[in-house]
Structure 1
Amino acid sequence: MSNLKDQVVFVTGAGGGIGKIIAIEFAKLGASVAIADLNEELLKTAVKDIESYGGQALGLVANVIDLESMRAALQKVVSTFGRLDVAVNNAGVVGIGSIEEIEPADWDKIMSVNSKGVFVSTKAELEIMKPQGSGAIINSASIAGKMGMAHLSHYVASKFAVIGFTNSIAKEVATTGITVNAICP
């Protein structure tokens, strides 16, 4: 088991679900963890849960599709912990429906949170990591980003986009000391 005692980790969509579990696991390894979500009540509970494992936690209400919101949240991370070592861009939404059932607004929402949210978050994170000359960004894609699935076309498209974006940004920052990867739960 790694010791992440001096590491600072930021996780989006961490008010619950996979994001909360990711944040708890980083805290168990000794990292200071900042979590972001739109739901303030979920954030409060998640912070308490992280702290119950002995971790240091900071909850931040932030919107992954708003660059200024993400910049403000990340500045709070840096002012609180002094740096940013790992960012996990996990915020996402899912939608189910056939092509006949999916409305353009449904498509826009899924693509905005799942794809644009990863772009905006990564952009803001790199503004901190590049001057540091180090960092790791982990984008949550999905197994759905590797194959088509009936009744999930908008979700699948958003996760394919995350994988393509991640591959491109990894190449773009390859010489900066920053790694960019995607996970596909």
Structure 2
Amino acid sequence: MTELSNKIALVTGASRGLGRAIATTLAEAGASVVLVDLKDAWAQTAAEGITATGGTAMGIGADVSDRAAMQRAVARCVETFGGLDILVNNAMWNRYEPIEQIEPDVLSRMVGVGMAGIVWGLQAAVPAMRARGGGSVVNIGSMAGRIASANTLLYSGVKAAVDGMTRAASVELGPQGIRVNAVAPSTIATDAVRAMLDAETLAARAASTPLGRIGTEADIAQAVLWLASERSGFVTGQSLAVDGGIGHAFRR
């Protein structure tokens, strides 16, 4: 019997990258997993990858910035698997650009996915978790919410807000048996990051990290698994830095 047997999890932004790695890891730990992404085909393809290896999964297309869409996604989860125990708010839409070039549509989309998506996810999930006697929420933040760089005003702002929302939700939902935590990654070697950063930049980031490397999707997925499981049963309101120590490193 694996540690998440009889648990039901919903992961947003789950068709690729960190979200897919997290969903796969939760399924390998025994959970039935609902993968949510913007396009139904993306989510279903990722879910099929899990079921092909013996896991239990279902894909749902939904825009997390749409309150009604998240309500429908959670309703389908409950209808199909009988409840909801774990919510991973991973979805994010991002664009890096100078402050003076930020347009209203970019601001709206980043806040809509990165912040409103958490609000709507919580609103939809809390009643289902309460019906099961409690649950665990894991929000995906970023070290960018603590360590800023140029052209990241919106991204850093949204991810800093994730930490604050995590703390506030943990206080409100703790009495209902619902724990709320966050994971704050540094640079992670996803396909998207490798497409955005050249080898020289990645090597420089690895060199500035005390552990001497950048993170992997598995590093983050395992941290999420720990926070989702009963192994962290007395942990709530925390934002766990999974960053190889770069948050404490002085950089010239």
Q: Say yes or no: TM over 0.5.
A: yes
Aligned equivalents of 1:129, 1:12: Cα separation in 2: 17
Q: Please tell me whether the aligned partners of residues 8 and 83 of structure 1 are also in contact (alpha carbons under 8 angstroms).
A: yes
TM-score by length of 2: 0.70
Residue in structure 2 matched with residue 137 of structure 1 by the alignment: 137
Residue in structure 2 matched with residue 6 of structure 1 by the alignment: 6
**Which residues of 2 match residues 28-177 of structure 1 at below 5 A?**
28-177=28-177
Q: Please tell me whether the aligned partners of residues 111 and 155 of structure 1 are also in contact (alpha carbons under 8 angstroms).
A: no
Residue aligned with 1:35, SS: strand
Aligned equivalents of 2:71, 2:181: Cα separation in 1: 21
CA deviation profile, 1:20-69 (whole Å, cap 9, x unmatched): 11000111111111111112221122011111221111111112111211
Q: Please tell me whether the aligned partners of residues 36 and 43 of structure 1 are also in contact (alpha carbons under 8 angstroms).
A: yes
Aligned equivalents of 1:170, 1:80: Cα separation in 2: 27
Aligned equivalents of 1:149, 1:116: Cα separation in 2: 24
Aligned equivalents of 2:148, 2:123: Cα separation in 1: 28
Q: Please tell me whether the aligned partners of residues 24 and 53 of structure 1 are also in contact (alpha carbons under 8 angstroms).
A: no
Equivalent residues, number: 185
Aligned equivalents of 2:104, 2:157: Cα separation in 1: 14
Runs of 4+ in 1 over 3 A off after TM superposition: none
Q: Please tell me whether the aligned partners of residues 27 and 55 of structure 1 are also in contact (alpha carbons under 8 angstroms).
A: yes
Residue aligned with 1:30, SS: coil
Distance apart, 1:126 and its partner CA: 0.8
Aligned equivalents of 1:153, 1:141: Cα separation in 2: 15
Report the structure number with the largest CA radius of gyration: 2
Aligned equivalents of 1:107, 1:86: Cα separation in 2: 29
Residue in structure 1 matched with residue 207 of structure 2 by the alignment: none
Aligned equivalents of 2:13, 2:37: Cα separation in 1: 5
Aligned equivalents of 1:180, 1:66: Cα separation in 2: 21
Distance apart, 1:15 and its partner CA: 1.2
CA deviation profile, 1:91-132 (whole Å, cap 9, x unmatched): 101111111222222122111110111111111111211233
Give unpaired runs (5+ residues) of structure 2: 186-252
Aligned equivalents of 2:58, 2:111: Cα separation in 1: 28
TM-score by length of 1: 0.95
Stretch of structure 1 that moved more, 121-130 or 152-161:
121-130
Stretch of structure 1 that moved more, 157-166 or 128-137:
128-137
Aligned equivalents of 2:63, 2:112: Cα separation in 1: 11
Give unpaired runs (5+ residues) of structure 1: none
State the Cα RMSD in Å.
1.4
Residue in structure 1 matched with residue 179 of structure 2 by the alignment: 179
Distance apart, 1:140 and its partner CA: 0.8
Identity of aligned residues (%): 37
Residue aligned with 1:173, SS: helix
Residue aligned with 1:175, SS: helix
